[in-house]
Amino acid sequence: MKQSIQLLTLVSLLFLAACSQAPEATSATKETASYSTALFSPTAQFKTHQVAAFVEPTNQANLAFQVSGVIATQYIKIGDEVLPEQRLFKITNPSLVPQINQFESQIEAINATMAQNQAEVLRYKNLQKTNAISQNDLDKLTNEKDNLAANKKSLEAQLEQAKSLYEESYLKAPFAGNVAEIYKQPGEVISPGEAVLVIGGVNSLEAPIYLPSFLHDNLQLGQLLAVKYNHQSIAATVKEISHTANPKSQLFKVMLDVPITEGLKSGEKITVQIKENMGDYYRLPIESVIDDGINRPFVLLIVDQQVQRAPIELIEIVNAEVIVSMPQQGEVEVVTGGQANLSPLQKLTQS
């Protein structure tokens, strides 16, 4: 449905452009008496989304571990002031370190096997030149090398995950504040998500936003986002990113740290601007696109002084430009005006 609406919009815009078009030459445009062209290359295209959010105070936060274990060390007491990333508690989990050691040992063993395999491959290649072994034997050894590389990559991913879980054995302060309550003591067994302490007295603001996966994937911790409030432009920081979506809404929660600015209070609405990386596409002036009347838009290209018809797929319309994909790769010369004076396969004379 969205694509159909875009195509209908494109047809309307093309009609208006044809009625009022007054081409102007630019440094990237080549003009003759009857038509004009310009060079275009695919580049990264971004689309800005406006996401509404409501500011709320960060008066307190319940902190919990993401892994289970036994509390081994308590670094703070009630009333202490803490800084961002300061360690508050540490737990021990007997399974975390052995997992890391196991994966590291397995990777070390695979590296040794891969080195031996590489030597065998070189030896087999030399023997194969004299027909001492068959090509089939060489292929088997080469396949074994590829399998070892795949296994190593899988183990490295598991090792990174195990190290990430080990980092979760430290409970750190997400922001500056005061320790208001402590619920757990050293020696107690805790479960993931079980509240350990409360940090309060934070004189700052935050705003939760809820995003679909294609926008969620464009964000990173610490990233600055442009925010509009009451005609003011401020910068908010991404401080929390949920890695699981709400099962009902299929949206991911992202928490922003919003600086206190004049007039901004809890409960007020702000607009967050998020740029979506759409990929590498051509960005063309809308008047360069021709619609054949049956929703099959195309452009005319000049290739080796010959006119060629190139079908396009409409990705997005942005003001007086269209973002499109086409079968061609790299730089292309697109006819941007005077298309009615040209026809596909027409040979052009050198000017």
CATH code of the domain in which 140 resides: 1.10.287
- Residues 18 and 141 grouped into a single domain: no
Between these two residues, 112 and 185, which has the higher pLDDT value?
185
Question: What does the alpha-carbon distance between residue 128 and residue 217 come to, in Å, rounded to a whole number?
Answer: 49
**What is the mean pLDDT of the segment spanning 46-71?**
85
Per the prediction, the chain carries an average pLDDT of 81
| Residue 79 forms part of a structural domain | yes
| Residue 269 forms part of a structural domain | no
| Residue 192 forms part of a structural domain | yes
Domain boundary, last residue among 148, 167, 186: 167
**What is the mean pLDDT of the segment spanning 166-191?**
84
- Output the pLDDT for position 181: 84
- How much of the chain, in percent, has pLDDT values that exceed 70? 79
Q: Name the 3-class secondary structure at 134.
A: coil
- Residues 152 and 192 grouped into a single domain: no
Question: What does the alpha-carbon distance between residue 314 and residue 2 come to, in Å, rounded to a whole number?
Answer: 11
- Residues 18 and 131 grouped into a single domain: no
pLDDT in tens, 302-329: 999 999 999 999 998 888 899 999 999 8
How many domains in the chain?
3
- Residues 84 and 101 grouped into a single domain: no
- Output the pLDDT for position 1: 44
Domain boundary, last residue among 146, 181, 199: 199
145 — pLDDT class (breaks 50, 70, 90)? confident
| Residue 179 forms part of a structural domain | yes
Residue 341 has pLDDT above 60, yes or no: yes
- Residues 41 and 80 grouped into a single domain: no
- Residues 37 and 15 grouped into a single domain: yes
- Residues 84 and 30 grouped into a single domain: no
Domain boundary, last residue among 118, 149, 167: 167
Tell me the CATH number at 76: 2.40.50.100
Six-digit token pair at 272?
Answer: 């967050």
**What is the mean pLDDT of the segment spanning 134-163?**
74
Residue 129 has pLDDT above 80, yes or no: no
Residue 199: exposure state from Cβ atoms within 10 A (0-12, 13-18, ≥19): buried
| Residue 226 forms part of a structural domain | no
What sign does the CA torsion over 303, 309, 311, 312 have?
Answer: positive
| Residue 330 forms part of a structural domain | yes
- Residues 22 and 127 grouped into a single domain: no
- Output the pLDDT for position 227: 94
100 — pLDDT class (breaks 50, 70, 90)? low
| Residue 54 forms part of a structural domain | no
Between these two residues, 102 and 255, which has the higher pLDDT value?
255
- Output the pLDDT for position 177: 76
Which structural domain, as residue segments, surrounds residue 284? 2-46+279-341
| Residue 249 forms part of a structural domain | no
Residue 68: exposure state from Cβ atoms within 10 A (0-12, 13-18, ≥19): middle
